Amino acid sequence: MRWIEFSFKTSSEAGEVLAERLAQLGAAGIATEDPNEYKTIIAEDDDTVFVEPDFLERLGTVTGIRAYFACFPDGLAYHALEGPGIFSNIDTENLYRDGSFPRGRISVERFNKLLEDELAYIGQFLDTSPGEITYREVDPEEWQSKFKDHYRPMRLSKRLFVVPSWLEFKRPVGTQLIRLDPGSAFGTGSHETTQMTAEFIDKYMKPGSKVLDLGTGSGILAIAAAKLGARSVRAIDISEQSVEVCRSNVEMNKVDDKVCSARGELKDDRSSYDIIAANLIAEILIDLAPEMPKHLNDLGLVICSGIIDHKLQGVLKAFKKAGMTVFDQNEKNDWHTVVFTR
């Protein structure tokens, strides 16, 4: 067996979406280096962060992603999806734990073409420039150490840090840790939309609140709410794979007494909440806007994220039509998060 490393150069906004696609395709390890993530952390002037004087200059502006796939004599092991942009119920969290590999086989050259098609599909919705893909064979031990070396404790909000399970980290007084490993589902904390949603949960959620995490992905926002004192959190997603990943992460963070994960949609939910966190995309938020007020308690808040700059006005218009008003909002690198109330 050999290991093939695929390297990508793309934009920050496309990076997390691409990483999710690579996980769906069967990547055994994914490492992301996003300059915007580092710059955000440094800009916070946090005394837990030290950087060399020329570090920002050396970062550049391009997001780098490396993904590692097993290759056998009969071809590269991968999950054959139905096409670019079509997700499956693949349990990527447990894919390699029992020593098994994806059953699909494909030549490295054809798989590289498939990745080019995936990147082109994402490029219809997000800026993927410079959009470069290269690949090479690597030593098995090299890829394992490389992808782990990339991840460091990351400040998600004022009171939250995200830390990979293999790292030791002494949390500052008054903060909470979220243990989360990369590569299993959307939501590692590196993307601006996740960060801004977590910041608003940290800012506005009161202890004892009832919270809905809509489109939970990895479960990071549900775990954040539980760690910050929510009484109960319901985490739902239309992807069974994401639900399973969420459950695993909830157990790892020992908040399974507060967080309930399930496959579902907002229209099927009969409860009301103090906080609804919806880190989705603008089109889905617009469709869901009429339903949101029905699921809010008095003085409840809806935190809408995943809104790229040119889609903001459409979201604001849809929620105004649904009888909701803007309570607060934030913007990072052309991504917007808006807090609505009735």
Where do the structural domains in the chain lie, given as residue ranges?
Answer: 2-149, 186-341
CA distance 340 to 312: 13
**Which of 57-71, 177-191, 195-209, 246-260 shows the lowest mean pLDDT across its residues?**
177-191
Q: Cα–chain-centroid distance for residue 157?
A: 15
Asked whether 126 and 308 are in contact (CB, 8 A), the reply is yes
CATH 3.40.50.300 fits 186-341, yes or no: no
Question: Is the model's pLDDT at 96 over the cut of 50?
Answer: no
pLDDT tens, position by position, 264-296: 999 999 999 999 999 999 999 999 999 999 999
If phi > 0 it is left, if psi is from -120 to 50 it is alpha, else beta; for residue 312 that is: alpha
Residue 97 pLDDT class (50, 70, 90 cuts): very low
- The predicted pLDDT at position 56 comes to 62
The predicted model scores a pTM of 0.65
Average pLDDT over all residues of the chain: 86
